[in-house]
Amino acid sequence: MTAGASSPGSSGTTVASFDARLVRVPLTRPWAADVTSVGVVATHVVRSDGAEGWGFSWTPQIGAEAVHALLAHDIAAWTVGRSAEPGEGWLPLWQHLHEAGGGGITTIAMAGLDLALWDAAARADGKSVPQWLGPQRSAVRAYGSGVNLHYPLDELVAQARRWVDAGFDAVKVKVGKPDVAEDLDRMKAVREVLGPDRALMIDANQRWDLPRATTNLEVLAAVAPAWIEEPLRADDLYGHFELSKRLKASSGIPIAVGENLHNVYRFDDFLRTGAAQIVQPNIVRVGGITPFLGIAAIAGVYGAAVHPHLLPELSGQLALCLRAVPGVPEPLVEDVEDAAFGELHALQDPSPVRIADGVLTETPHAGLGLRFA
């Protein structure tokens, strides 16, 4: 399994201690009636040379306690005394944990260790993670996003206006109402606010089957979506492959997946078969920076765009480091309204990134700059 790119250098250090704690971060703008907070498992590693690093695992509503247990028990017991070099132990740990599952809770928990090790390595050199990896660009475009399927039409339109006023030139909106005519009315209203030159992406969050996706996208093509995200059940490889063929023959809307794919193998499956044209790995859900870099490398081979999912304070830093591929769009970073950790006052330090006029840049910080309060 390709875990990811090699780190800049080997320190020869080991993990002296590792711990994790579970915190709940309240959301200013609930994502649903029962999603009023997100779960963060904050992690802390101390290396044998005294260097420290901080990372985290993340899951919005389900499984945070299970992730914490896996980190505090199995991962902590496995990692102490082993190499602290970022990426070096990722595959052996994945193999060790595999009987608990090759993805999902397993890889989400693994991210808590992986991020802390990358953070420690960069901090030990007095650099941020982008500086340590080698930035490929000084800024990256961000797009406005929201968990808004439950919004009344007037509230959705108001959100779209806020995105325009904030300088975003691309936005993403949820679709998946029982009647596609309602989806179309909502998207037409958003398109009217955006105008013809801003990109409008749509996200069905796995709500359709293949026949319904085919029919609904014929209707929604009227608003010229830049992509359709998760139109089908996330693990339905054949369905996405068939839908991709149908869309190429009709509207040409690209398919984006990755929010709920959890390892390098599945990303390779979707890209190799042509079932998706855009990948959106969530850096925490895939297991951290190490596998994320591997997924990005595979996407480059297939000529697919990489737009990291959520968590702009983390995703934005890694997007700055992704190598440009000729003919492939530059990465975009997702900025969900009122959901960044800095905006939620969840961090000890100022946010490591800044988003202004639809553009994300790095701010001065060490490591990942993501220590939770």
Q: Which of 44, 68, 174, 240 is catalytic?
A: 174
| Paired sense of beta strands 359-362 and 353-356, if any | antiparallel
Q: Which of 44, 172, 240, 309 is catalytic?
A: 309
**277, 304 contact by CB (below 8 A):** yes
Of 49, 25, 45, the C-alpha closest to 35 is 25
Residue 259 phi, psi dihedral angles, 5° rounding: -55, -35
The amino acid present at 20, given as its one-letter code, is A
For the chain, counts of helices (H) and of strands (E): 12, 13
The DSSP call for residue 179 is S
Which residues are registered as beta bridge partners of 58? 40
Catalytic status, residue 174: yes
The amino acid present at 192, given as its one-letter code, is E
Of 39, 90, 130, 85, the C-alpha closest to 368 is 130
Distances (CA, A) of 296 to 16, 68, 99, 290: 31, 27, 26, 10
Alpha helices in 172-236 (DSSP H): 180-194, 210-220
The DSSP call for residue 295 is H
The amino acid present at 33, given as its one-letter code, is A
The DSSP call for residue 222 is G
Gap between the Cα atoms of 353 and 373, Å rounded: 17
Handedness of CA 113, 115, 260, 336 (dihedral sign): positive
Q: Please identify every residue annotated as catalytic.
A: 174, 309
